[in-house]
A and B are shown apart, each in its own frame.
Chain A
Amino acid sequence: MRAQIAATVASLAVSAALSAGGFRLPASSVRLAAPGVRLPASGVRLPASDPRAAGAIRGRVDVRVGPSADLRPDPASLGMGNPRDAQDRRRSVVYLETAPRGAFEAPSDRHARMDQRNERFIPHVLAITAGTWVDFPNGDRTYHNVFSLSKTKEFNLGRYAAGHSESVKFDQAGIVRVFCEIHSHMNAYILVFAHRFFAMTDDDGRYRIDGLPPGTYTLLVWNEAIHGDPPRRTVTMGEAGDVDADFTIR
């Protein structure tokens, strides 16, 4: 069974090519779960009830990239659009290239949420595990039309009004670019992982990945401002204590 899961994960390893958004494949693919996942020889199982019983990797991702308005010039408009905050691009996702055994036995039917408010997707970056449903409630008083043409998940929710919500299940690992067909400036990222060893950075860029057994891990960072290979760092975790790993993205 585990071998089957590992094989499935390997097959789900996907590139971070944002094909739906007109992006070309990066020079080398960003893998959310590397093919040929290496399982520890000893077959260490993760403690299911208390992930903090094991160690953690923590640190900070310093993103030195300014916010983006994502606004196209609109010479056909008869006036200014509604004021909107610039898109904060500092949120990053730190994840393990190779996950330990047990990482893939996550429960199904989890739900996450991506709102549509003030012509923005909130959050702008969402990281989930495969099998998670994402709800897309419309909190604006105008229509939105959420869609994606990403290879990982193609969908089109159509136009629906405020107070309504539609949901999509993301059952394949990869990166999904989300757009609104009506408002070209609305865009978001959903990172779907085959395992649960990832963490979003907070307002200060800090992250923490818990529940790791001793071992050597390769950490990678995803940020929308990274257009080449993702920064990576290999860390070794012993029996005791946490490990620090910081990154800088310019």
Chain B
Amino acid sequence: MQVLPAGPIETARGTVTVSGEVTATAGAKDDTAFFNYTDYEHNALRMFRLSLSAMWRPSPRFAALTEIRSEDLQRVIPYALYVRVRPWANRPFDIQAGRIPPVFGTFARRSYGADNPLIGFPLAYQYLTSMRPDAVPANADDLLLMRGRGWRASYPVGTPEPAPGVPVVSAYRWDTGVEARYAAERFEAAVSVTSGTLSNPRLDDDNDGRQIAGRVAWHPAVGLTLGASGARGAFVTRAIVNAYEEALGPHSYDQEAIGIDGEYSRGYWIVRGEAIVSRWTVPKINMPFIDRPLGARTGYVEGRYRFGPRVFAAARIDALSFTRLSGQRLFGGQPTEWDAPVSRIELGGGINIQRNLTARTVVQHNWRDGGRVQQRTYVSAQLSYWF
């Protein structure tokens, strides 16, 4: 007799498979620094997450997939819901349509039993900048005033209520659209057209704009993957665009991003890294103007080493910085990064109690050049089970 399933549950003659993951993460409360808050306003180092995935694959060339999640038992989110088609049986070319996984970068697609070697997420995929799609600063001072307040940013233009800003790339939501991928032995390429952007994936469209994103990956040797990604899509909501179209002329306020990634593994080592440069264009409304796109540069390197069948250690070094602009009232009018740069180091280790039951703990230290709290260390522990 089994208490819990150890593998996927199959029904309907194997055409339907169901798997799941339960992750309980314990850590101290953080209602002042918000280094690890996600765009759903949960703390990544203190979260209970349930995930259920299902696939219906009636034929080798067609599948329907879904993944639903609940974080802190608050609401159930259809993280993924799409169909997958392979038009030609002998060609490794696939099309996916619906709420699909992002083609940009690598971290947001990690799966298979909490593939994250640590507990925290990379800054690029989690840290909330002060950028918002539904509210924008009228001038540079409005923006600088929100430095280090991405967890609760507010601006005079657009939605007046304070709300969380967006990460550079959201790993907690997936976008809606169509994606195509060709995957050969040493090379693969994917392109997608979706309704949201990297930082603001959407189920519905809020600006009549589309994002085009793509990624190419090369596998020059076994264990080595090198990738490059790019994306461009309309970011600011239609309500704001319409409000300033007459005064500023027709304009597209986009998020653009490029990224590179790499992974190398051998023996008991695995090392990964990503670097992303993103920029957002916002309306140039009042003096002092935000007359250039607002850029962000971020990257991380992480590694994991297995000491034996059960025990592993991992570490990640992470940084996020921003381009400079000058206000009038703030910072003496001197060029200042429009959001507070953040650095993070996370060290941890874990033990595989069973193949699909892992306990891990981490220590994470954050530095931020701005905001109410500029340094903070967190300790967190996690138990994750998957089938």
Binding site for B on A (CB under 8 A): 18-24, 26-27, 66-80, 83, 86, 141-143, 147-149, 154-156, 158-162, 177, 179, 184, 187, 227-228
Question: Is B65 an interface residue, CB under 8 A from the partner?
Answer: yes
Sorted nearest first, the 5 A-B pairs with minimum C-beta distance are A79-B94, A22-B6, A73-B55, A75-B80, A73-B53
Query: Which residue of the partner chain B has the closest CB to A154?
Result: B309
| Measured CA separation A61–B270 after assembly (Å) | 44
A19 touches B354 (CB 8 A): yes
| Measured CA separation A73–B10 after assembly (Å) | 10
| A-B contact list, 17 entries, CB within 8 Å | A19-B354, A21-B7, A21-B355, A22-B5, A27-B1, A69-B17, A73-B54, A74-B65, A75-B53, A75-B82, A78-B96, A80-B86, A148-B309, A149-B309, A154-B308, A159-B266, A159-B270
A186–chain B nearest beta-carbon distance, Å: 11
Number of B residues contacting the other chain (C-beta, 8 Å)? Answer: 62
Grouping DSSP codes into helix (H, G, I), strand (E, B) and loop, the A interface class, with mixed when no group exceeds half, is loop
- Please, which residues of chain B bring their CB within 8 A of the CB of A24? 1-3
- Please, which residues of chain A bring their CB within 8 A of the CB of B356? 21-22
Query: Known contacts A73-B19, A78-B181, A179-B355; is A184 also within 8 Å of B113 by CB?
Result: yes
Residue pairs across A and B with CB atoms within 8 Å: the count is: 147
B355 touches A77 (CB 8 A): no
B17 touches A161 (CB 8 A): no
- Please, which residues of chain A bring their CB within 8 A of the CB of B5? 22
Query: Known contacts A78-B190, A79-B183; is A20 also within 8 Å of B354 by CB?
Result: yes
Question: Is B333 an interface residue, CB under 8 A from the partner?
Answer: no
- Please, which residues of chain A bring their CB within 8 A of the CB of B18? 73
Query: Which residue of the partner chain A has the closest CB to B108?
Result: A76
B14 touches A80 (CB 8 A): no
> In the complex, which residues 13-66 of chain B have their Cβ closer than 8 Å to any Cβ of chain A?
13-14, 17-19, 53-55, 60-61, 63, 65-66
B223 touches A141 (CB 8 A): no
Q: Which of B13, B60, B84 contacts A79 (CB 8 A)?
A: B84
Binding site for A on B (CB under 8 A): 1-8, 10, 13-14, 17-19, 53-55, 60-61, 63, 65-67, 79-80, 82, 84, 86, 92-94, 96, 101, 103, 109-113, 179, 181, 183, 185, 188, 190, 222-223, 265-268, 270, 306, 308-310, 352, 354-357, 387
- Please, which residues of chain B bring their CB within 8 A of the CB of A68? 10, 14
Query: Which residue of the partner chain A has the closest CB to B109?
Result: A76
Query: Known contacts A24-B2, A75-B67, A79-B92; is A149 also within 8 Å of B310 by CB?
Result: yes
B306 touches A158 (CB 8 A): yes
Interface hub of A20, A72, A159 (most chain B Cβ within 10 A): A72
Q: Which of B65, B101, B109, B267 contacts A73 (CB 8 A)?
A: B65
Query: Which residue of the partner chain B has the closest CB to A184?
Result: B112
- Please, which residues of chain B bring their CB within 8 A of the CB of A149? 309-310, 352, 354-355
- Please, which residues of chain B bring their CB within 8 A of the CB of A142? 222
Q: Which of B17, B96, B306 contacts A72 (CB 8 A)?
A: B17
B268 touches A22 (CB 8 A): no
- Please, which residues of chain A bring their CB within 8 A of the CB of B10? 68-69
